[in-house]
A = this chain, B = another copy of it.
Amino acid sequence: MVGIVVVSHSYKIAEGVKELTKELVPREVPLISIGGTSDGRIGTELEDIIDAVEKVYTKEGVIIIGDVGSSLMNSKVALEILDLEGYENVAISSAPLVEGAMVAAIESNLGKNLKTIKEKIESKRLIELI
């Protein structure tokens, strides 16, 4: 299954996304949801994103879904570092966080590939898919 890394600015949102996707897709999906800085503030950390991608990585790839600003910027830096380390099949999505994570979890569980999942969660019809 395609791995999913959810990157929020908020630890609470990250934890909530985890419980929500677990409710929606009871089967185990390779999803890691992270949020907040290591000292408990609002923000995202590059190291955490890299660690999360490495943990869920398989040859089927990983999709990263962030909320805003620095989560996407840090994800882009993470992508470059990971690429150098040989984790080549990683994509960043511009999908909205909660809705994107839920649909990605459903689709990954159904065995869909990275490209299909990315297209689906970035579709403007996303809300109707849930």
Q: Interface residues, chain A, CB within 8 Å of chain B?
A: 8-17, 19-20, 23, 35, 42, 67-69, 94, 96-100, 102, 124, 126-127, 130
The smallest beta-carbon distance between A95 and chain B, in angstroms, is: 8
Note all chain B residues with C-beta closer than 8 A to A8: 16, 98
The count of identical subunits is 2
Say what secondary structure dominates the interface of chain A: helix
Cα A20 to Cα B99 in complex, Å, equals 17
The smallest beta-carbon distance between A102 and chain B, in angstroms, is: 7
Residue of B nearest to A96 (CB): B96
Whether A96 and B99, one on each chain, are in contact in the complex, defined by CB atoms closer than 8 angstroms, is yes
The smallest beta-carbon distance between A23 and chain B, in angstroms, is: 5
List 23 contacting pairs A-B, 8 Å CB cutoff, sorted by A.
A8-B16, A8-B98, A9-B20, A9-B23, A10-B16, A10-B19, A12-B12, A12-B13, A12-B15, A13-B13, A13-B17, A13-B20, A13-B98, A14-B16, A23-B42, A68-B98, A68-B102, A96-B96, A96-B98, A96-B100, A96-B126, A97-B97, A97-B99
